[in-house]
Amino acid sequence: MAFIKFAKQSYSTPFYLALWFSISYVVAVLAVQFIGGIAPKFVVTTPEYEMLSQKLLWRRTIAILFFSVIYVASLRAGRFFGVISFVGAVWTISMFVDDQIALRPHLLVPENTTAIILLSLRPLFLLTISWMALEHFLRYGKRRDM
């Protein structure tokens, strides 16, 4: 069971473990966001910043949901997965860097075990997304149809 066939491609077992972890992580983050009260809150000084922070939070949530559907659909269809996985890896890493550099002073993490666990697993999520993009590139190169 070293390799599992999916669409036109075959990947290693660690790839599929990374895929299932990534899907589980995204589902958990979206569930926490939609339940509410657990997601990080912004420290704001004016109502305008409050409105901007809520817009940012919901736009990211919608983007994560949309990109997750495209990611899984492209893997299932076997087309353009290389480009989509590379864009997804770069996007998630840039969001992480943005959160660490620009937004960290303005975020309050609630004292909730679920939120703390999800935030501590975020670097592992970045690693799995990067691993899937790297493995696809090493196996199939720059072919756009795969």
Instruction: Please state the rounded mean pLDDT for residues 75-86.
Output: 82
What's the per-residue H, E or C state across the chain?
CCEEEECCEEEEHHHHHHHHHHHHHHHHHHHHHHHCCCCCEECCCCHHHHHHHHHHHHHHHHHHHHHHHHHHHHHHHCCCHHHHHHHHHHHHHHHHHHHHHHHHHHEECCCCHHHHHHHHCHHHHHHHHHHHHHHHHHHHCCCCCC
Give the other-Cβ count within 10 Å of 82's Cβ.
21
Number of domains in the chain: 1
Residue 132 lies in a domain: yes
Residue 145 maps to a domain: no
**Beta-sheet pairing, 3-6 with 41-42:** unpaired
* 5, part of any domain: no
Of 10-19, 110-119, 122-131, the range with the lowest mean pLDDT is: 110-119
Residue 3 inside a domain? The answer is: no
Q: How do residues 96-126 score in pLDDT, each as one tens digit?
A: 888 777 766 666 666 667 777 888 888 899 9
Could you tell me the pTM of the whole model?
0.75
Residue 77 domain-assigned (yes or no): yes
pLDDT of 12 higher than 70:
yes
Does pLDDT of 135 surpass 70?
yes
Whether 1 maps to a domain, the answer reads no
Residue 111 lies in a domain: yes
Range of the domain at 122: 12-140
Q: Is 4 a domain residue?
A: no
pLDDT value at 2 more than 60:
no
More confident residue, 33 or 5: 33
* pLDDT tier, 63 (very low <50, low <70, confident <90, very high otherwise): confident
